[in-house]
Amino acid sequence: MRRIRQPTPAHVAFAVIAALVLYRYTVSTPEERDGTPRRQKSVTVAYVVDGDTFRTATGERVRLLGIDAPEVAHHDQQEEPFGDESTAWLRQQISGRVVTLHMGAEETDRYGRTLAWVYLADGTLINQLSLLTGQARLLDRFGLPLDLEPRLRKAAASARVERIGLWAAD
């Protein structure tokens, strides 16, 4: 009787990683795979609400994708640590400026906010810069575009390792 070889841990790990990559690729949209956005537009930032949300000159509310900034006090919610600092940082970066929104696969959330990757005129991705400077945490539970994922994860890890921004208190 022929004996079947048991797979080594390396073979199992390779198979799992290959399956995850295949799954990630098959559930991504064609736009995510080739890096082209679904839709984009330029807007003028009128007011920064908090570290991950702002209003445009036309009143549109925009939520930055891929990040979760600490909340500021509003309605019946108390401020989270570093909320005011994160808001002030975003205000300094984009208030009064024209930015380009690259909409996500889902263009709006349940609150009616436009969901977007936000770029300055020089090509700086504000979502990534927010992570890099420790103004927000990476929010990946809804998925990240394949073309942005590595640089977003690197930016978030860098801020945490260097203990800057909201990570300084940890």
- Cβ atoms of 59 and 53 within 8 Å: the answer is no
Looking at residue 137, its pLDDT comes to 94
Is the model's pLDDT at 121 over the cut of 50?
yes
Predicted confidence (pLDDT) at residue 30 exceeds the cutoff of 50: no
| Residues pairing with 43 in the sheet | 99
Cβ(118)–Cβ(43) below 8 Å: no
Q: In the predicted model, what is the mean pLDDT of residues 149-157?
A: 96
| Range ranked top by mean pLDDT from 15-24, 82-91, 109-118 | 109-118
Looking at CATH, the fold of the domain delimited by 39-167 is given as OB fold (Dihydrolipoamide Acetyltransferase, E2P) (2.40.50)
CA-based nearest residue to 83, from 93, 65, 97, 68: 68
Interval 15-25: pLDDT, tens: 666 656 655 65
> Over the stretch 32-59, which tens digit does the pLDDT of each residue have?
544 554 699 999 999 999 999 999 999 9
Task: Please give the pLDDT value at position 169.
Answer: 78
pLDDT at 154 over 90: yes
Q: Coil, strand, or helix at residue 96?
A: coil
